[in-house]
Amino acid sequence: MTRIMGNNISVSDFKEYYLQMSKPRSIRRLHRTLKEKFKTKKIVSLATVFRHSNREDWLQQAEQVDLKLSDKLLEKTVDKKVNDIETVTKQLEDTSSQALQSVLDAFKKGIATEIKKPEQILSLVKASVESIKMKNVLEGNPSTLSGHIQYDSEDVAKLKEHIRELYASINLDLVQKTHEEKDRKLN
């Protein structure tokens, strides 16, 4: 709040208190509150305050103060949401990379010969695909990934081929993203 100098509360002091009030603002209520709070000080008359408030358009000034405050609060809220989305996006990217790496490591180690049912690796692939899709959606990037995996539970070779296609599709998205980031840095 405003510091009161001397023994008086002037019109400018009153105006500062008024603009600092929370909604709904009331000149009469503020005048009464100041009289109770500063019993030893001389407070500008209510009639003088009303005259100045009309002449200087305190209502519009109060609206401007409220608008600036609202903008600051909105900016803080937006910044927090952006940071939250960036955190989730990074987690999704990490999850998808780990899941894909697990699948690729399994194939490199020869686990493909031990797979009897596609369901054995489908969950890892699906987690990776969904994570990349969600990451791209949150970043506003296009995604070339399909959301549906069809497979014949008896045909492991087709499932392996589908996984390879998904991996190629994810690589294509990552390459496109890298090119877009380079283009943004150059501009």
Question: Residue-wise pLDDT tens for the chain (187 aa)?
Answer: 455 556 788 999 999 999 999 889 999 999 999 999 988 889 999 999 999 999 999 999 999 999 898 888 888 888 888 888 888 878 877 877 777 777 777 777 766 666 666 666 676 677 677 777 777 777 777 666 544 555 555 666 776 777 777 777 777 777 777 777 778 778 6
pTM of the model: 0.44
Could you tell me if 154 and 118 are in contact, meaning their C-beta atoms sit under 8 angstroms apart?
no
Place of tokens 């002037």: 10
pLDDT of residue 58: 92
pLDDT value for 1: 47
Q: Domain ranges for the chain, please list them.
A: 8-56, 77-186
> Given this model, what pLDDT does residue 152 score?
58
Three-state secondary-structure class, residue 117: coil
SS3 for 26-60 is: CHHHHHHHHHHHCCCCEECCHHHHHHHHHHHCHHH
